[in-house]
Amino acid sequence: MPFTPGDRSMLEGYVKQARPIADMFSVKGKTAIVTGGSSGLGFDITLRLLQGGANVMMASYSELERDVALDILKKEGFEASVDFCLTDVTDEEQVARLVDLTAEKFGSIDIYVNCAAVWNYAKIYDLPQQDLKKVFSVNVFGAFYGVKYVSKYMKEHEIPGKIVLISSNCPVMPYPVFGGYPHYASSKAAVMGLTVEAAKELKRFGIMVNSIAPGAMVTPGSAGNLASEYITEEQQDEFYEELMVWQIDGQMPVDQIGIAAYTMCTPVADGITGEVIMVDGGATHNIVKYQAAIDAYPEEQ
C-alpha cells in the first residue's frame, strides 16, 4: 500500500508521545519498599533504586544487617532517602505496619520489591516439617502479605505502582541435579503463580506486577546455604557430594539480576505485567558454559 499523509501523521504522533529516554529508566521522586533489602540481592536493588532517585524503606528481621546496610548507604550520600524497618515478613501485622510507616515517612508507596527469602537443602523423603513450614512462611506468606497491603495502599491512593517479586528459575530448571530443593522450588513456583494472579486483579488500577527469576548468584545467603540441620550427618554428607555435580554455568553477578529488577520498577514496565522474567544467562534454555562430567552420575544398576 502507498505511504499516505495519514501515515506521516501517525509517525509524528509517535515522536510527540515519546518520553525522554532518561525518564523511562528513572524512579526519581518515587518511594519503594524492599523486603530483604539490607543484604545480598535486596541490598543491590535498594542501591540501584536510590541511585535512580527513589526513597527506599529497607525491611529485614536482622538488626545487624540494618546497621551495616544503613552505614554503607549513608556513606554513599543517601542518608536522607533511605530508612529501615525491622520486619518479620511472616507476621501479617508487621507487614501492615511496614506499609504504614513507609507511607508516613516518605509520603507515598510507588514500588514494592519482595526479596525476602530463606532456603536450605534436604531431599523430599528426608525433609523436616520445620524446614517446609519456615520456607513457605517466608517465601510465600511473606510475599503474599506484602502484595496484599501494598496493593491496598496503591489502590486506595490511586497510585499506578510497580510490584516486583523475586522468584527463581529452579521451578522450571530443577537443581541440584539430584534434587534437594523441593520446598524452595515449590515456594518459588507459588511466587510465580502469585505474580500472574495479582497482575490480573491489579491491572485495572494501573498496578503492574512482575517477577524476576534469577539463576545462581553469590550472596551472603547463598554462601551460607547448607543442608537442613534436622537431617542426619550422613544425609548431609551424601547431599554435599551430590551437590558438586550441578554446577553448570558459574555464578551470575548479583547486579545483573538487580538491574533487571530495577528496570521492572521504572516506566519501562508500564506495559509489562504478569511476566516471569528469567535472568539466568540462558540456563533455562540449556545455554550453559559447562556440563557435568558423565562419571559424576551414578552407574546404572
From the candidates 39, 168, 187, 228, which is the catalytic residue? 168
Phi-psi region of 107 (alpha: psi -120 to 50; beta: other; left: phi over 0): left
From the candidates 184, 187, 211, 228, which is the catalytic residue? 184
From the candidates 188, 211, 228, 262, which is the catalytic residue? 188
Is 188 labeled as catalytic in the residue annotation? yes
Is 75 labeled as catalytic in the residue annotation? no
Is 155 labeled as catalytic in the residue annotation? no
Residues serving a catalytic function are: 168, 184, 188
